[in-house]
Amino acid sequence: MMKSPILRTFMEVGMLIKKHYVMSSFVVLGSLLIGVISISRSCLAYSNRNYEVDSLSRFDHIVPMVIIGSGPAGLSAAVYGARAGLKTLVIRGNLPGGLLTETTWVENWPGSKHILGSDISSHLQEQAEGLGAEFLDDVVTRIDFSQWPFIIETESGLTVHALSVIISTGSTPKRLGIPGEDAYWGRGVATCAVCDAPFYKDAIVAVSGGGDSAVEEAMQLAQYAQKVILFVRGKVLRAAERMQKRLADHPSIEVRYGVQIKEVMGNDDKVTGLLVVDSDGIEKVEPVDGIFVAIGHTPNTTLFKDSLKLDNHGHIIVEGRMQETSVQGVFAAGDVEDSRYRQAGVAAGSGIKAGLDAIAFLDDIGFTKRDAQAIRLFDPAGGHDICAGVMVVRTFETFKAIVAKDKGVLLVSCRPTAMKSCNEMREVVDAYTGKATVLVVEGDAAIQVAQQYGLTKIPGCLVFEGGIYKGGSTKCTSPALMRTFANSMVPDLQSSIGA
């Protein structure tokens, strides 16, 4: 039977589809398999992140709000966290105070006509500390956002369990890496024309770079400087065409192509010139009053690249108008997430938003002040935890440090396992408020303490006065028995509390 042309065409198309379907199916199936594996890995990575406040009794070294970085974003977040009554810990990092501390005078900080960058940082820290924020001079080396509380480890070996995290690690300006650059940094070598251009009124200034940022810097400087020389290493500008066209509106800007800056020169006080070499290899000294390095910034996000969503340039991606990252409970503020403005005032504003977002997150998961009183909160000053007014330690070294520092009466309870609830010791704490300090030593450290002072088993208790050991007992199996023993060791305690 003859097939109609239309039918024959449909059959041929069908054979082609069938032929290619098998191959396509393998491709599609492979893609789906890869996707499933990726999703499975993601699910596995985040399977332990359950925001259950009731589970917090199992953890030590807890901090409700941890801020990584101490520039204007981090410090502003700390002000809001501490003011909300949350235990707030700022881990200051490698550059305490942020990039502001490397600048001189700032004239665009709201409320101050003329202020040192370092003073802005110190004022913000003083305000945060005054409200109760605590600071740790340490560097974060590892984070784990796959479980909650989040795990933060530092260079000194500390491990903290954070209920919320604000990342404000900033960005690092890329440098030329030439002689004189570091020596004159902040004294003629700069990276922010918006910040420093007014200081170069009627001066001759250089800009190094060939992208959008370099052109933007040059145009900003042109509003103040007598002359701006834009040194471009290549043969053409890499800036967008619209940016290049705008250069024509600034006759004081001169673009020089194929020029490499070899050295920043000065008179020990400020920049006076640049040693440059052109495409023919000819060197000469170019007199300038300053140079702005505009070859880009690197966001300090290496630590977070496997945990959070980043954009193509490495900035942390935040959700909409909020500061929350791709992980609930983790927030970002400042230059680490801002690729556009890079201003201290903008960073401070985003830090405030991040602080408010973190407070709202803790409220949403049901974390209350009552919960805060019943968990082991980390005390960075002492290196131990505070739980319902009780100091809790798990290392022998921390125990020894506390004994050596304490000048009053110290009541120590040694326990083989962790307290189920900090309120177990509430009776002892309340009985000796203002008269004695209560310390609980748990786990292996408790065994070491017992052995050190001749106790044959634990649980047990010890009494110290002014750092001197008064005695110990293995019969302190309850708070009431601990009080009885303490009163027998230090009679003044009994008379002072009427026990």
Q: Region 318-325: what's the mean pLDDT? A: 94
pLDDT band at 315 (very low <50, low <70, confident <90, very high): very high
Q: What percent of the chain has pLDDT over 90?
A: 60
Q: Which range among 127-131, 200-204, 254-258, 294-298 shows the weakest confidence by mean pLDDT?
A: 294-298
Q: Region 111-140: what's the mean pLDDT? A: 93
DSSP-assigned states of every residue in 300-314:
S-GGGTTTS-B-TTS
Q: What percent of the chain has pLDDT over 70?
A: 89
Q: What is the pLDDT of residues 322-332, one digit of tens each?
A: 999 999 999 99
Q: Region 271-289: what's the mean pLDDT? A: 95
Q: Which range among 167-171, 260-264, 476-480 shows the weakest confidence by mean pLDDT?
A: 476-480
What pLDDT score does 40 carry? 40
* Tokens, residue 187: 């004294």
What pLDDT score does 37 carry? 40
* Tokens, residue 49: 């992140």
Q: Region 257-286: what's the mean pLDDT? A: 95
Q: Which residues belong to the active site?
A: 192, 195-196
Asked if residue 388 has pLDDT above 90, the reply is no
Task: Name 154's Cβ contacts closer than 8 Å, sequence gap at least 6.
Answer: 91, 136, 138, 139, 140, 141, 160
- Rounded to whole angstroms, how far apart are CA atoms 215 and 396? 59
What pLDDT score does 17 carry? 46
What pLDDT score does 42 carry? 40
Which one is predicted more confidently, 425 or 133?
Answer: 133
What pLDDT score does 44 carry? 36
What pLDDT score does 26 carry? 44
Asked if residue 45 has pLDDT above 50, the reply is no
Q: What is the pLDDT of residues 10-43, one digit of tens each?
A: 455 455 545 454 444 444 445 444 444 444 434 4
- Rounded to whole angstroms, how far apart are CA atoms 283 and 262? 9
Beta-sheet pairing, 271-277 with 283-287: antiparallel
- Rounded to whole angstroms, how far apart are CA atoms 453 and 462? 8
Q: Which range among 17-31, 148-162, 205-219, 436-450 shows the weakest confidence by mean pLDDT?
A: 17-31
pLDDT band at 297 (very low <50, low <70, confident <90, very high): confident
- Rounded to whole angstroms, how far apart are CA atoms 194 and 96? 23
Asked if residue 385 has pLDDT above 60, the reply is yes
Prior bond to 287 cis, omega within 30?
A: no
- The residue ranges of DSSP E strands in 349-454, in sequence order, are 377-379, 384-387, 390-393, 409-415, 436-442
Which one is predicted more confidently, 36 or 172?
Answer: 172
Q: How many CA atoms lie within 13 A of 148 on its CB side?
A: 20
Q: Region 388-416: what's the mean pLDDT? A: 90
Q: What is the pLDDT of residues 133-168, one digit of tens each?
A: 999 999 999 999 999 999 999 999 999 999 999 999
